[in-house]
Amino acid sequence: DGGITQSPKYLFRKEGQNVTLSCEQNLNHDAMYWYRQDPGQGLRLIYYSQIVNDFQKGDIAEGYSVSREKKESFPLTVTSAQKNPTAFYLCASKGGEAYGFTFGSGSWLSVV
Amino acid sequence: LAKTTQPISMDSYEGQEVNITCSHNNIATNDYITWYQQFPSQGPRFIIQGYKTKVTNEVASLFIPADRKSSTLSLPRVSLSDTAVYYCLVARYSSASKIIFGSGTRLSIRP
């Protein structure tokens, strides 16, 4: 089945540590996105990529970094510069078909 | 980018029809309207998409007036399992671009 796989489902970060969230899709979609969702809140755009080796900042990119070396993969690194990283992170991809977005199942990140 | 406005929350009862309206005053000619449903700790999932007039599928209907400045998601005979957050998204599905979600509508269904 085609879809998006995010891992890990739960992750804990120590002070000063960088952590990376994985996002892989087998939908052959060109565009991929990362959103952050705080409890009880909506989705906020962190980064997006329209094509391999290219990405743009969203509304809350500070403290995060991404790479897009392969069409299938769009990992998100939460750096130590992100002082309040505790949230639910969602990866999505978008193709040209009518349904638009396909989301992964999300990853929870907490600070310990 | 088309900004969307939805009610923050709505309550209803099992078996009722629920209508959630979304305003998108600056929608562009080639924008489509898509509605998503999200349960806690899950990714949003597609419900329905439309461009104008009315679209119906097995779970919902979408009503879009001629000026396309708003849209209404209609859920017939809701059940407890329809308790979720519903997002209205306006975007050009054929192109990849900066896509912003609104705050969504938290729908609570009571027995």
Using one digit for the tens of pLDDT, what is the confidence trace for B18-66? 999 999 998 988 888 999 999 999 999 999 999 998 999 999 999 999 9
Among A33, A106, A108, the residue with its CB nearest the CB of B99 is A33
Measured CA to CA, the distance from residue B44 to residue B41 in angstroms comes to: 10
pLDDT score for A98:
59
Asked if B96 lies within 8 A of A90 by C-beta distance, the reply is no
- For residue B9, the chain A residue with the least C-alpha distance is A40
Predicted local distance difference test score (pLDDT) of residue B56: 96
Provide the pLDDT confidence category of residue A1 given band limits of 50, 70 and 90. Answer: low
Interchain contact A98–B (C-beta under 8 A): yes
CA distance A25 to A1: 11
With an 8 Å Cβ cutoff, is A89 touching chain B?
Answer: no
Mean pLDDT, chain A, whole residue set: 92
The answer, yes or no, to whether residue B96 has pLDDT greater than 80, is no
**A96: confidence class by pLDDT, cuts 50, 70, 90:** low
Strand, coil or helix: B104:
coil
Q: Please calculate the CA angle B5-B7-B11 and round it to the nearest 5 degrees.
A: 160
Neighbours of B107 (CB within 10 A): 21
Q: Which of A35, A46, A101, A105 to mutate to test the interface with B (most CBs of B within 10 A)?
A: A101
How far CA B55 is from CA of A36, A60, B81, in Å, comes to 30, 34, 22
